């Protein structure tokens, strides 16, 4: 196992667990800094495999393949958090892994995640753990509809979720998320969350280096369509006080996790400017794609720096940006972006457009305004 203290020299190999579009953009950022990349994932012809220096296509449970992967790299990082616990633990015993399993363990379980937010003094929407249909029905007397039922693990972009508009919806919602047939032995199976009255959604991406240095990108304002991020805009239309509070939450979370890498925290902003934490992810985040054209160090280079032991630099936005996700057939409307001198197109190399599938994104830049406070 290589030393975890010295920064990696140019030419070193960064291993990336996961080979989707986030891994692809990590590979490109690493190449700019002179590093090679080796991606690991189950899918042949994946977005990251197209641009990586090397690729292993194997199951996350294949210990022989994991061992060979660990031996071929100088450090391991992640492009997504839903990695089997045994795979992360196995890699940690064979290589330097950043971030650690602690961050992954908390972020991939909604019940642990919400308990963690409470531990660091951050508020969340009201919630209860749910392990059976009877528990769900009882919980609806405390968290009254409208509410949302979510699997504790493996849900994203609206998957593994069901709205409950009235108590009579309980049976249908329970069946919709799998009816208690858990994808893992970890309990609880689900969480019930109360709806909250908010005026906007924001996210903050914090980075923490091996030496403890912590920096944060400014809050991003997010809009969703069909449970999938549609646009992210900086500057966010929030007060300076709310912006500072949001950045403080993300920074406190990164410190509490002893994180080395990136941490994205999604939050709701109430009418009075107070914040409720929704979810977090210890990896690059869709809402941070604006940083690729926002000026300064982007989120992918920041993760490469953290994983490689290089200094972290404070983010420095030089333009205003709106990131537009290209979902499914949106890919057919590229002509207008190609003709726009203010549009920066980023495609993920996916051959087939399907409903709900992220095919790429566009960053539309504008002259830098003053801070987006209201």
User: Does residue 14 have a pLDDT over 60?
Assistant: yes
User: Does residue 326 have a pLDDT over 60?
Assistant: yes
When comparing pLDDT for 178 and 34, which is higher?
34
- Nearest of 273, 96, 304 to residue 198 by alpha carbon: 273
CATH 3.30.1490.20, domain 126-194, yes or no: yes
User: Does residue 160 have a pLDDT over 90?
Assistant: no
Instruction: Mention every residue, 6+ apart, whose C-beta is less than 8 A from residue 77.
Output: 14, 15, 16, 17, 26, 97, 98, 99, 261, 303, 307
Q: For the chain, give the number of residues.
A: 374
Give me the pLDDT at residue 374, please: 46
User: Does residue 317 have a pLDDT over 80?
Assistant: yes
Give me the pLDDT at residue 108, please: 87
What residues does each domain of the chain span?
13-97, 126-194, 200-367
For residues 109-115, average pLDDT: 94
For residues 53-71, average pLDDT: 97
Give me the pLDDT at residue 266, please: 97
User: Does residue 143 have a pLDDT over 90?
Assistant: yes
Instruction: Mention every residue, 6+ apart, whose C-beta is less than 8 A from residue 248.
Output: none
For residues 32-37, average pLDDT: 98
User: Does residue 182 have a pLDDT over 60?
Assistant: no
Give me the pLDDT at residue 156, please: 61
Reported confidence tier of residue 49, pLDDT bands at 50, 70, 90? very high
Please give the distance of CA 213 from its chain centroid, rounded to a whole number.
Answer: 21
> How do strand 54-57 and strand 36-41 relate by DSSP bridges?
parallel
For residues 156-161, average pLDDT: 68
- For 333, counting Cβ atoms within 10 Å of its Cβ (0-12 exposed, 13-18 middle, 19+ buried), the class is exposed
Do 126-194 and 200-367 show the same overall fold? no
Give me the pLDDT at residue 34, please: 98
User: Does residue 2 have a pLDDT over 50?
Assistant: no
User: Does residue 56 have a pLDDT over 70?
Assistant: yes
For residues 26-35, average pLDDT: 98
Q: What is the mean pLDDT of the chain?
A: 92
Query: Using CA atoms, how far apart are residues 339 and 227, in angstroms rounded to an integer?
Result: 29
- For 319, the token pair is 């333009």
How many percent of the chain have pLDDT more than 90?
83
For residues 364-373, average pLDDT: 76
Segment among 96-105, 120-129, 313-322 with least mean pLDDT: 96-105
Instruction: Mention every residue, 6+ apart, whose C-beta is less than 8 A from residue 280.
Output: 106, 107, 113, 253, 263, 264, 265, 266
For residues 302-306, average pLDDT: 98
CB 75 within 8 A of CB 98: yes
User: Does residue 254 have a pLDDT over 70?
Assistant: yes
User: Does residue 360 have a pLDDT over 50?
Assistant: yes
CATH 3.40.718.10, domain 200-367, yes or no: no
For residues 258-277, average pLDDT: 96
Prediction pTM value: 0.92
Query: Using CA atoms, how far apart are residues 66 and 87, in angstroms rounded to an integer?
Result: 8
User: Does residue 372 have a pLDDT over 70?
Assistant: no
User: Which of the following CATH numbers is that of domain 13-97: 3.40.50.20, 3.40.630.10, 3.20.20.70, 3.20.20.10?
Assistant: 3.40.50.20
Give me the pLDDT at residue 1, please: 45
């Amino acid at each position: 196992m290589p030393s975890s203290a010295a920064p990696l020299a140019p030419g070193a190999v960064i291993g990336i667990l996961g080979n989707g579009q986030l891994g692809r953009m990590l590979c490109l950022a690493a190449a700019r800094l002179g590093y090679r990349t080796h991606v690991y994932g189950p899918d042949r012809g994946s977005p990251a495999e197209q641009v990586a220096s090397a690729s292993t296509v194997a199951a996350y449970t294949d210990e022989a393949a994991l061992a060979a992967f660990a031996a071929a790299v100088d450090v391991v990082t992640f492009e997504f958090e839903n990695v089997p616990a045994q795979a992360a633990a196995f890699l940690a015993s064979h290589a330097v892994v950043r971030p650690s399993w602690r961050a992954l363990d908390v972020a991939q379980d909604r019940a642990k995640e919400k308990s963690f937010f409470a531990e660091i003094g951050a508020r969340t929407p009201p919630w209860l753990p749910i392990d059976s249909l009877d528990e769900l029905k009882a919980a609806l007397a405390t968290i009254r509809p409208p509410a949302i039922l979510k699997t504790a693990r493996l849900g994203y972009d609206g998957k593994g979720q069901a709205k409950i508009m009235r108590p009579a919806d309980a049976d249908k919602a329970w069946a919709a998320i799998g009816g208690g047939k858990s994808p893992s032995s970890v309990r609880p199976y689900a969480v019930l969350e109360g709806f909250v009255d908010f005026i906007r959604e924001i996210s903050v991406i914090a980075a923490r280096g091996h030496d403890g240095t912590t920096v944060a990108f400014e809050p991003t304002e997010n809009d969703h369509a069909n449970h999938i991020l549609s646009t992210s805009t900086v500057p966010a239309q929030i007060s300076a006080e709310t912006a500072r509070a949001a950045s403080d939450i993300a920074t406190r979370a990164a410190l509490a996790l002893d994180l080395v890498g990136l941490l994205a925290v999604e939050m709701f902003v109430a009418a009075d400017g107070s914040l409720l934490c929704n979810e977090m992810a210890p990896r690059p985040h869709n809402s941070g794609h604006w940083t690729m054209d926002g000026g300064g160090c982007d989120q992918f280079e920041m993760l490469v720096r953290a994983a490689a032991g290089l200094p972290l630099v404070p983010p420095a936005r030089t333009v205003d940006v709106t990131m537009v996700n290209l979902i499914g057939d949106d890919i057919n409307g590229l002509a207008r972006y190609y003709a726009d001198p203010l549009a920066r197109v980023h495609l993920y190399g996916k051959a087939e457009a399907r409903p709900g599938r992220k095919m790429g994104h566009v960053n539309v830049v504008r002259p830098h305004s003053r801070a987006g406070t209201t």
